[in-house]
């Protein structure tokens, strides 16, 4: 069991998701921004190793505009050595990597242009992970998309679009239940037709479910992950008190987290904490997990 957080580390004074306005695109600006983002990513990964955080979601903005037609720069070749070195560092440290394209990436959209843009963005994500030399355990997680008033047809459209994806994307793609539209049952239905691993989002399940107990869900979801996919991935958060349903908490509720760990036994999993204060909650989660025999940590947590 690895524990991690997504994209940004608030403790180290840099951001790996710097971008710029499309109107100001130039190759010089692009190269400088990517260099800055890669430098920060290396710093984040080093910090994570020091604190025993072995799961990390790389920001989709690492290479700005990579899937946009404006970007014709050969970034894979130009940054090949640096990306390879980062990938070797990741693999050598036992860190698990994921990525999560934003909400505008909708594979099952009935609009052709949205679908084409979504496929191009997924291709960029796969290209980036490939450029780092990461194996198929590095995953790209995606929501199923919109319902568009026709749930079954929308699920079927996702299945058809998935079948048309290139194998380098297919081998990395996992689907996640969301908090409003497609519940874990929908993901498992799609899995039956495609073989896609299912990523279980605990908080989304609390918001959108059909009464399935968490242990039962984990039993079914864990079976969707094959050997080449690695340990199943789980997203964890809890409700922000006083905000709309589905708003993520500012800091981990350790009591709730420990209850989830109890419910999840005996399944192994890598847990991504989708919590506002990011690395602070991840360190607290490792402290809370304590002597859980599933926990993998590179070094003792720094105090």
Region of 283 (left: φ > 0; alpha: ψ -120 to 50; beta: rest) is alpha
Determine the average pLDDT of the residues in 116-142. Answer: 98
Is residue 301 scored above 50 in pLDDT? no
pLDDT digits (tens, 9 = 90+) for 4-39: 999 999 999 999 999 999 999 999 999 999 999 999
Q: The domain containing residue 231 runs over which residues? A: 3-289
Answer whether residue 303 is part of any domain: no
pLDDT reported for residue 39: 98
For residue 87, give the 3-state DSSP assignment: helix
* Token pair recorded at residue 44: 């984040």
Answer whether residue 296 is part of any domain: no
Say if residues 271 and 234 touch (Cβ distance below 8 Å).
Answer: yes
DSSP code of 270? Answer: E
pLDDT digits (tens, 9 = 90+) for 39-54: 999 999 999 999 999 9
Answer whether residue 73 is part of any domain: yes
Residue of higher predicted confidence among 213 and 241 = 213
pLDDT digits (tens, 9 = 90+) for 254-277: 999 999 999 999 999 999 999 999
- CATH code for the domain of 187: 3.20.20.150
How many structural domains are present in the chain?
1
The per-residue b/e assignment along 95-128, b for 16 or more CB within 10 angstroms, e otherwise, is: bbbbbbbeeebbbbbeeeebbebbbebbbbbbbb
pLDDT digits (tens, 9 = 90+) for 166-195: 999 999 999 999 999 999 999 999 999 999
Answer whether residue 79 is part of any domain: yes
Answer whether residue 222 is part of any domain: yes
Provide the pLDDT confidence category of residue 303 given band limits of 50, 70 and 90.
very low
Answer whether residue 298 is part of any domain: no
Answer whether residue 297 is part of any domain: no
In this prediction the pTM is 0.95
Answer whether residue 236 is part of any domain: yes
pLDDT digits (tens, 9 = 90+) for 89-108: 999 999 999 999 998 999 99
Provide the pLDDT confidence category of residue 64 given band limits of 50, 70 and 90.
very high
Is residue 216 scored above 70 in pLDDT? yes
């Amino acid at each position: 069991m690895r524990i991690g957080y997504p994209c940004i580390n608030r403790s180290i004074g840099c951001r790996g998701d710097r971008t710029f306005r499309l109107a100001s695109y130039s190759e010089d600006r692009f190269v400088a921004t990517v260099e800055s983002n890669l430098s920060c990513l290396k710093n984040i990964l080093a910090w994570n190793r020091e604190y025993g955080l072995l799961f990390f979601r790389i920001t989709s903005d690492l290479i700005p505009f990579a899937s946009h037609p404006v970007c014709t720069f050969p970034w894979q070749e130009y940054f090949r050595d640096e990306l390879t070195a980062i990938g070797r560092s990741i693999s050598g440290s036992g860190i698990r990597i994921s990525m999560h394209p934003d909400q505008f990436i909708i594979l099952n959209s009935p609009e052709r242009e949205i679908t084409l843009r979504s496929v191009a963005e997924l291709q960029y994500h796969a290209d980036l992970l490939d450029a780092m030399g990461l194996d198929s355990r590095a995953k790209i997680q995606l929501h199923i998309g919109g319902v568009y008033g026709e749930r079954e047809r929308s699920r079927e459209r996702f299945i058809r679009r998935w079948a048309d994806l290139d194998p380098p994307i297919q081998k990395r793609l996992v689907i996640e239940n969301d908090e409003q539209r497609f519940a874990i049952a929908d993901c498992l239905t799609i899995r039956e037709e495609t073989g896609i691993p299912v990523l279980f989002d605990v908080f989304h399940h609390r918001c959108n479910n059909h009464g399935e107990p968490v242990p039962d869900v984990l039993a079914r979801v864990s079976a969707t992950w094959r050997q080449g996919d690695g340990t199943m991935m789980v997203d964890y958060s809890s409700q922000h008190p006083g905000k709309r349903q589905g708003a993520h908490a500012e800091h981990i509720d350790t009591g709730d987290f420990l209850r989830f760990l109890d419910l999840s036994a005996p399944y192994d999993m890598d847990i991504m904490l989708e919590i506002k204060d990011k690395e602070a909650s991840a360190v607290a989660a490792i402290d809370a997990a304590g002597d859980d025999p599933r926990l993998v940590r590179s070094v003792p947590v720094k105090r």
